[in-house]
Structure 1
Amino acid sequence: MGELSQQIEQSVAAANHPTRQIPPLEKWQPKLSGTMDVVVKANGEWWHEGSQITRPLLIDLFAKVLWSEVDDNHHVQYFLKTPVEKWQIQVEDAPLLVNQVDVITKQFGDTSKPVLQFTTTQGDVVIADEQHPIRLGLPFTNATSDELLKQKQASQPYLLVRQNGDSALYGLIHRNVFYHLIKLGELVEGEEGTSLILHSGDSTFTLTMTA
């Protein structure tokens, strides 16, 4: 873990970004190094060899090099990736957790519009738009999750936080954040169930919650 931390830190620093940025993971093509006993819990906690990782800087470092791959059966696997190593880790639900939403104003041409800005516990700041959609359920399943969790995931709200090449990393929207979104959005009753309609700039998202 110590050697990997140093390697990740060097790789992130080599990206030479003045602010928090994700390194160009899509350009790194290392072979699989093996499996590491790291688990990202459904509540956003990170654990290593049965002990919770409590150092925020270490979690932030690992979160910057998260990588996902989806097979032909739509099963997703997650990795920590550097230019020379790729270690598979376990993710119970989504690899990121959205714990804050703010309504801010953004300029669109000659007009300004309110947008939904989300923040993850790992420090990602993302505005919901066509490249970062809000949705119910994930477009793939985690082969290591049990059936109960998979059923729960289907009705939970997620935000696409990062897209690096073919790697898509979603953030689970925390329950308190979702309650706030309900206040910000519009609830509409339809034949399929109750839909929450959210507007963010020029983008509109419809989340239909079936009975």
Structure 2
Amino acid sequence: MPETKPSVSLAGQSLAAIAKAIEERGSAPVDQWNPTHCGDSEMKILRDGTWLHQGSPITRPAMVRLLSTVLRREEDGSHVLVTPVEKLTIEVERTAFRAIAMTMEGAGEDRRIAFELDSGDAVIAGPDHAISVIEEEDGPSPRVHVRHGLEAEIARPLYYKLAETALAEEAKGVWSDGVFFSLEP
């Protein structure tokens, strides 16, 4: 089954248009699918977002987008690819996705921040898509919650822009969609 949903791009779009595109793209109801675990997918998502199958990169972007739609994080922190009839383990080095572009509208408590993900999806930070900063061995890892326990690591230049915004407002974080998010680990 080919991936037929268009990717969501932030370029040149208002937050209202981005929100509409996100809604139209939708997501698979993987949280409702609970088939028996049937093995290992022999896939891995590297920290840089590269998807591997049996150690070789998956080079077709449409295949990666399709696989990303059936990805879920389990309560124990593991990741699986799940359909109504099968569940396969997939290894994830850091986070399942990367936030690769960002746009903001408004200021202070009225601000909304949208992130474009390397999977072709997008999210608007807010009550359902929290921004957090996790301390890792190599330093802070800024993230945004995507869905079903999955997170996107926010690219360093985007994180710096968020920090710059916070500093300009003399705050230790940023507002988006009515929620304040600390930028400290």
What range describes the TM-score normalised by the shorter chain of this pair?
A: 0.7 to 0.9
- Provide the residue aligned with 1:136 in structure 2: 133
- Provide the residue aligned with 1:186 in structure 2: 167
CA contact (8 A) 2:64 2:119 kept: yes
- Provide the residue aligned with 1:87 in structure 2: 88
Kindly indicate whether residue 137 of structure 2 is the aligned counterpart of residue 161 of structure 1: no
Which residue identity does 1:41 align to in structure 2? L
Kindly indicate whether residue 107 of structure 2 is the aligned counterpart of residue 121 of structure 1: no
Matching residue within 67, 88, 91 for 2:72: 67
Matching residue within 36, 52, 57 for 1:47: 52
CA contact (8 A) 2:42 2:53 kept: yes
- Provide the residue aligned with 2:100 in structure 1: 99
Matching residue within 115, 133, 155 for 1:174: 155
CA contact (8 A) 1:35 1:89 kept: yes
CA contact (8 A) 1:187 1:197 kept: no
Taking only aligned residues, the RMSD between alpha carbons, in angstroms, comes to 2.7
In structure 2, list runs of 5 or more residues that go unmatched.
6-22
CA contact (8 A) 1:69 1:77 kept: yes
Which residue identity does 1:159 align to in structure 2? V
Q: Which has the larger radius of gyration?
A: 1
Distance, in Å, in 2 between the alignment partners of 1:48 and 1:196 is 41
CA contact (8 A) 1:34 1:88 kept: yes
**What's the TM-score once normalised by structure 1's chain length?**
0.70
Q: Give 1:123 shift.
A: 1.6
Distance, in Å, in 2 between the alignment partners of 1:53 and 1:196 is 39
CA contact (8 A) 1:124 1:161 kept: no
Which residue identity does 2:101 align to in structure 1? Q
- The change in CA–CA distance for 1:51 and 1:122 in structure 2 (over 3 A counts) is same
- The change in CA–CA distance for 1:187 and 1:207 in structure 2 (over 3 A counts) is farther
Which segments of structure 1 move beyond 6 Å, counting only runs of 4 or more? Answer: none
Distance, in Å, in 1 between the alignment partners of 2:168 and 2:111 is 19
Q: Is the strand fraction higher in 1 or 2?
A: 1
Alignment of 1:19-30 (within 5 A): 19-30=24-35
CA contact (8 A) 1:187 1:196 kept: no
In structure 1, list runs of 5 or more residues that go unmatched.
1-5, 13-17, 106-111, 139-149, 190-194
Give the match's secondary structure for 2:164: helix
Aligned residues: 166
Q: Give 1:36 shift.
A: 1.5
